[in-house]
Amino acid sequence: MDINRSIFFVLILIFLSACGSGSSINKNKSTLGAGFRFSSYGPKTNPGPDYWLRVGREMAARFPDAHPEAIWIVGVLYGKGTWLSFPGESTDKLIAFGFDDENEAALDLFDKNGVKVWLQVEPGDADMLQLIDLVLDRYGHHPCVIGFGVDLEWHHSSNPDEGEGVTDEEAAQWLAAIRKHNPDYRLFLKHWLAEKMPETLRDGILFVNDSQGFESLDQMVADFSEWGETFSPAPVAFQYGYPADQKWWGNLADPPGDIGNAILAKTPNAQGFYWVDFTVLDVFKP
């Protein structure tokens, strides 16, 4: 790293410290968010905001002192860029917009009912700083919003197996951009490979694992426990309930609760459990 980049990185870290990131690892140490992942393409049908509120509440009720929490995907991969599910304009030709706002009604309901929400994008090659500003300018007024998330499977890639990792410098820049909107916001980064994550930067980041295709609950718990140890004491979170694992979780008495409590017993820094929308209608009947 040359001297100018080194100075830039140090300035970013100073900015984050001024915003309170130094205590963010332990800021919500005792809290656990439990709920769901939502996307426009995951469920076969969208039952509407009231349904998602119920799923969040029922998921959280399975864990002591947990609150309802959601990963709400507002930007999905579109060609080499991102399609945002609300109207807007951008100088980046890789950012496209919907004609109608598909998120406001749900976020309004979540505001009134104590659901915490991460707004996530699948960036492709779209400009990340523009995505952050577009999303948070649109929805940052909602009290339910707690941060911004990036699925690294789609970072500079249209193939989930080839998404680029993130450097400390990039992650610090993203977090600084997010905290210009609200100093309490955090960044989540999602992948199943730890090497895709920033090498040393931990403050202000939630590390989300979305691995799937396990042979058993024990294998999943072992893999997720290793993830937790890798990033400890920083908080980690997990997406689960994929069709690829249904061959064994389908035999559990209470798949959302049984899986989450097994993870929690081995991963003390777990701070988020999200049932995926690909099977949510099967487990949480509309």
Domains and CATH numbers, the chain: 38-283 (3.20.20.80)
Confidence of residue 62 (pLDDT cuts 50, 70, 90): very high
Distance CA 148, CA 266 (A): 27
Global pTM value = 0.90
The proportion of the chain whose per-residue pLDDT surpasses 70, expressed as a percent, equals 90
State whether residue 201 is helix, strand or coil.
coil
pLDDT of residue 2: 54
Average pLDDT, whole number, for the chain? 92
Q: How far apart are the first and last CA of the chain?
A: 53
Q: Is residue 162 very low, low, confident or very high in pLDDT (cuts 50, 70, 90)?
A: confident
What distance in Å separates the CA atoms of residue 268 and residue 260, rounded to the nearest whole number?
A: 12
Closest CA to 56 of 235, 277, 259, 282: 277
Please state, in angstroms and rounded to a whole number, the distance separating the CA atoms of residues 179 and 157: 26
In the predicted structure, residue 35 carries a pLDDT above the cut 80? yes
CB 98 within 8 A of CB 84: yes
The pLDDT, as a whole number, for residue 3 is 47
